[in-house]
Amino acid sequence: MQSQDGIAFSENHLMKQKRILQFVPLIVFLITFCTFSQTPEKGPWWPHPLWGTGDQAGGSNWITPEKILDAMQLVKHGKVYELGQIYEPEMPFFGKRSYELKTTPNGPSGGPVGENNLVFNEELLTTEIGQVGTQFDGPGHVGAQVTFDDGSVKDVYYNGYTGDQMYGPNGLRKLGIENIKPIITRGILIDIASYKNVEVLSNSYEVTLADVEGAMNKQGLKPSDIKKGDAIFFRFGWSKYWSDPKKYNHHPPGIGLEVANWVADMNASMVGSDQYGTEVEPYPNPKLAGPVHQFLIMKNGIFNLENLNFDGLVKDRVYQFMFFFTPVRFKGATGSPGRPIAIN
């Protein structure tokens, strides 16, 4: 094989170049932790290049009145799609998380009171409130242990906030979910499962950038269709297993650092998927734990909405829509439940 300037290349040489390029996202990711000067004022991912020192809102800063008006242009029929799962004790849980909702079993919680004999019901909910079911990972969810120039070792999160600034007995003192603005934006669905002509992607399949580009092309989407502040969603078909927690929790497919870098280049406000973490599990490099979470949330302030269901959108071939999600303002929480919807 020969280049245009007459230099000959072997097939083996080109294959080696391709393999090297596949490792570029990983190399960039590791450099982030290894080579740059790191002080409380400035480090490899702080302050945020767009939102600046002190920001706690991350990707939700994209949600401006102009952005909302732009998203409204996608509403043509007024049809509403539920993207979230129902919260219940039988749903899949990550690790040892749990969900228990109690009501009075044999009568109302209170009453009768007043001459009108008012009775009423209440509930007691015990759960990891921001990290079960359809869940939104906020800016205080994941960080990294970092060695500073002075030799001190600190846990560092989005925009350089340290564990010393954040940790408290009654919630995070910084980067709590209450700092996130209501997310009303354009939603983009990339249906990887349909592109691969399968109902469900196989266990631990890492979605590549070629997959993303191929799926978008099949759906009639161009890169220019994605705008700054959009919410980008990936469908792997994994919600099919929602009623089978053992199967759902076992090695789901997902994106890796290659696609995560692309998401950041698109300036997305958030991502989401129909599995419990959006990133491939286990990660192909066994030395890394949750690198996509770190790259998107910690480094870029791009949030992650997990455990979704896109079947309705796919059935109607709706890939662009107005998207709504408003995290519940639990002060100091790491994440939030919610009821995400799409409107076509």
Q: DSSP states of 32-56 as a string?
A: HHHTS---SS--SS-S-TTT-TT--
32-90+133-343: in CATH 3.50.30.50: yes
pLDDT of residue 38: 84
Q: Which residues, other chains included, contact 44 with Cβ-Cβ below 8 Å and sequence gap of 6+?
A: 31, 32, 33, 35, 36, 38, 299
Q: How confident is the model at residue 28 (pLDDT cuts 50, 70, 90)?
A: low
Give the pLDDT band (50/70/90) at residue 112: very high
pLDDT score for 40: 85
Residue 314: predicted pLDDT = 98
pLDDT for residue 124 = 96
pLDDT at 5: 38
Model-level pTM? 0.89
Give how far Cα 291 sits from Cα of 253, 254, 255, 287, Å.
Answer: 15, 12, 11, 10
pLDDT in tens, 189-228: 999 999 999 999 999 999 999 999 999 999 999 999 999 9
